[in-house]
Amino acid sequence: MLNGVSGTEVITYFDPAKFKCQIACELKGYDPQNYFDRKESRKIDPFTQYGIIAAEEAIADAHLDDGGTDKDRVAVIWGSGVGGVRNFQEQILDFGSSGFTPRFSPFFVPKMIVDIVPGHISIKHGYRGANYATVAACASSAAAIANALDLIRLGRATAVVTGGSEAAITEGGIGGFASMQALSTRNDDPHTASRPFDRDRDGFVLGEGAAAIILEEMDHALARGAKIYAEVTGCGLTADAYHITASHPEGKGALEAMRLAVEDSGMRLTDVQHINTHGTSTPIGDISEPKAVAALFGEHAKNISLNSTKSMTGHTLGAAGAIEAVATVLAIKNGIIPPTINHFNDDPDIPDLDFTFNKARHRDIDFALSNAFGFGGHNVCLAFRKFTGR
């Protein structure tokens, strides 16, 4: 991200020649047998595999299983927009090719359902706290993090393994989004296809992957000497109540989600220094979100460093909220804001704000927001603050 490198390439998972969109951000060099034995990997969909791996990395980094944490009070809350869509497609196509003979795999349902990821994580680690999934389209994993925050605030968990995963680069995934004219068709120039806030953007690039975060009650984390990257200070969740796929043209739901997140944090609007935007590279969404920022923050909006990391990762759907929350936290911790790459021409319909175009920027950040919005009008804003000790 800091180097501004796009992950978009021509699709290799299947022959995309017949599709209008032939590009995506596939997970490069992934071999499930590096993480799972052959028999095990066949029982779990890639979206579950990605989630398990990300969770393992986060749990190890947090030393959560090193003792001193009551596993009855460790929850797992996970987000995904579409779950095991690759497994679903394979099973249905196999059903049709067999002459509609019912020979479904006994793992068909367990490989497909979204809540199987937190199930796997809890079984492997013995976490016996709350365990469930959130589904809010492209805001799914941001909603999972918001739920995790509230669970700790309510005293119902000491720590929560949370995040999201997605693996929807399939014929159905590409074909479905392309039929809505949601995807970029810049097949001849994949690396510049995702261009949020650029005048010539033509849709998002589908991505895949996972991210996991360990949220922990502050006193407990300090007592065990946990590595702390940042504080999660608040969240805002709203609905556009406008359209099943299009965002509100003035970004009313997005505006209210950001306002609520700042208010929940006990901060002022003028304290916000950075926003990792939803910024998908779609014609409508890339206008409404900056409008919401300009309307909410007024003159201060010009002092906020915005960016869209989807210009590099593509749109990872239900995993996007978690991936971008990690990017926001690391921007705070390291004082470096990843760029919005592939900007060539300003769009006169987009407010004149600082989008951190094309090059990463050093900036000391104390307070930042991360936005995630989804089909159905779901809006989630997460607020993070630099950890300075207590």
Residues with a catalytic annotation lie at: 138, 278, 315
CB-based contacts of 225, cutoff 8 Å, min separation 6: none
Of residues 14, 56, 65, the one with CA closest to residue 36: 56
Could you give phi then psi for residue 207, rounded to 5 degrees? -125, 180
Contact 211, 141 (CB under 8 A): yes
Distance CA 258, CA 273 (A): 13
Q: Look-up: residue for tokens 């479905």?
A: 176
Of residues 70, 178, 57, the one with CA closest to residue 126: 70
Q: Look-up: residue for tokens 């502050």?
A: 218
Query: Which H helix or E strand runs over 60?
Result: helix 46-62
Query: Which H helix or E strand runs over 131?
Result: strand 131-134
Of residues 259, 222, 250, 228, the one with CA closest to residue 369: 259
Distance CA 137, CA 320 (A): 10
Of residues 266, 271, 262, 227, the one with CA closest to residue 365: 271
- Structure tokens given for 141: 């994993």
Contact 291, 351 (CB under 8 A): yes
Distance CA 295, CA 313 (A): 28
Bridge-based pairing of strands 378-385 and 9-10 is unpaired
